[in-house]
Structure 1
Amino acid sequence: MSSTSTYRLPWIALSFFFLLACGPNENEQIRPRKGTITESVYASGRIKAVDQYEAFTSASGPIQEVFVQEGDLVQTGQPILAVYSEREKLSRENAEIARAYADLQANQSRLRDLQLTIDLARSKMLNDSSLFAKQKNLWRQNIGTEIELEQKELAYENSKTAYETAQLRYEDLKKEIEFNERSAQKNLAISRVLESDYVLKSKTDGKVYALLKEKGEMVTPQTALAVIGAADEFLLEMEVDEYDISKVKPGQKIIVTMDSYQGRTFEAVVGKIYPLMNPDTKSFTLEGKFTEGPEQLYPNLSLEANIILSVSENALIVPRTFLIEDRYLLNADGDTLSVEVGIKNYESAEIISGISESTELMKPGR
């Protein structure tokens, strides 16, 4: 359980030298001593690579090919592995066929055929127009019959209509071909995207820390396939108890210990604090960044941390066990002394006022 505590570190042990020297004697009596006392919040967690994430694919099927190995450096968009899908492959090939069939260049013969029809209709219209004009001139000279004039006029109107109809058919066919071409291009692009979903690609520049499945294994969209993150940037991911989270602020110093570096301590600072509490563990997640870290780090290394809340130097310190209700002490005569308490931790407490270094104190219960 997280709470304020001292941390067992060499340099802190030095600062508590005088405090330890004032431990209870056989008569359970002591005098306060001056020293340094630190208040901190305990946190536990692990090391994570910056931008570390588990990679998933939206595809289902067997892994067809793995393109990288664990430890390889990758770039954004680089393929990690491919999942086989016969359906998506055939769909893409079908879209390519449709795209080739709908191509504007492939339909030029249809357009040329209609263009010939337009040219022929235009020639007939011009010819009929000329005959109609001649017949009108003859009619003005009282040559010919009215029926001949009407026939020439009707022939001209029909050829004119045929010409205009051919033009409209040409424009409609051209629009249809252009639409089909664009539609086929979109369908092909969609098919390629769907097929590309079966290829897992890196979302960031970094390192492949783990490949969680092998070639031939069946996977689903719920299956994590790889762990990828920054190659040489790491952060601390820690859990802090809900009772302590209100004391933690970004920028506070962190003293870090790790099992992989026993006997050594490192320094970091509090970064991001995630505001949502985990209801199962009753804790909050926060991130820290190393200011003095080890030479080599790996994701998921376990760590313990003490987040420094405050430090008081040259403080008047007594053992925590001598306090009564965190506000009273007993002198050597058994009298109760009211004191003002400052920084506290599991072992010790700072006394701001109410006693001096010369005050002899007795442990309660004696």
Structure 2
Amino acid sequence: MNALHAPRTPRALSSTARRLLVLAVALLLLGGVAVAATLHAAGRAAEKDRTRADGPPVRQGRVTLDEPGRAVFRNMAWGPHRDELTSVPAGDPAGPRTASGVHCLRFHTAGGTGICLQAVRGGLRDSYRAVVLDVRLRETRHYGLAGIPTRARVSPSGRTVAWTVFVSGDSYAGSNFSTRTSVLDTRTGELDRNLEDYRLIVDGQPHRAADVNVWGVTFADDTRFYATVATGGRTHLVRGDRTAKTLETLHTNVECPSLSPDGTRVAYKKRVEDASSDAPWRLYVLDLRTQRETPTAEHRNVDDQAVWRDDGTLLYALPGDFGSDLWTVPADGSGSPRLLTKAALAPAFTPAGTAR
């Protein structure tokens, strides 16, 4: 074959050409990753927008604590009114919401008085305060809090309020936590800052210990209440008396009690055997006269202080798409749980004769 027409043998690429080729491939790969990330972010944003669109409608308006047949709760739906107190008809809890403009982490109302536990933004870290509200949600008093808000209650007359905060730890599920519970007379301003200062009687005997914690007040009237006391590795239902400054144990393994409208039963969360340490509680009801316990038909973990929607129905929060949803279940152990409304927390009723 003529050497002039012989086929050429490909020569190895120069080092410069190889580097250029590697760079081109890398740029293509990075471009593909950027496009994929952009598409993924757009998809997540669209999904979030759909989630917000699926949430309950909320509009600004007038909210009071004396309008009959209303439910008031912390709105958890995404948007400009998240964490505000909102109102809905008690008969249509999933209906359109009226937002008050008042922000609360925890809330309760009775007798025309509201207690709102708020975060105060700013500085190096958030602080917290308890705000007493009148019937038109105007502040009448406020008090700085020593920790993270967790529980709040008002007596049926509205003359006494209570709140609980975590001063260390952030969950009742663990053993390393400490609480502080305060009770306030809204007429005189007298404040019992720490119920651990009350005289504690355990099984009929005076009891003093460094590990005492008190939380979850529920009122019978302006001076008598029930709460949880933990000491010695056990939790107790206690009956409290503001006049005598005493706490007396009644029953064990009771947390976050809620007194029924007729004053005869207490709903509470109970630690059950063989449950996960992260989800230990089930919802029970205790007959105060007979001390008989009844498990409800709610078999999921309930980490909330339930309220009584009426004499036979409990209302409580469970985790949901927006952070928290409200569910109901019969108090006598019958029936089954039912979703009441999405994106809500800390419910109460106005006028509040049933949400203790």
Q: TM-score range by the shorter chain?
A: under 0.3
The structure in which a higher percent of residues are helix is 1
Per chain length, whose mean CA-contact separation is higher, i.e. which structure has more relative contact order (CA < 8 Å, sep 6+)? Answer: 1
Higher Cα Rg, which structure: 1
**TM-score, normalising length from structure 2?**
0.19
The answer to which structure has the higher strand fraction is 2
TM-score by length of 1: 0.18
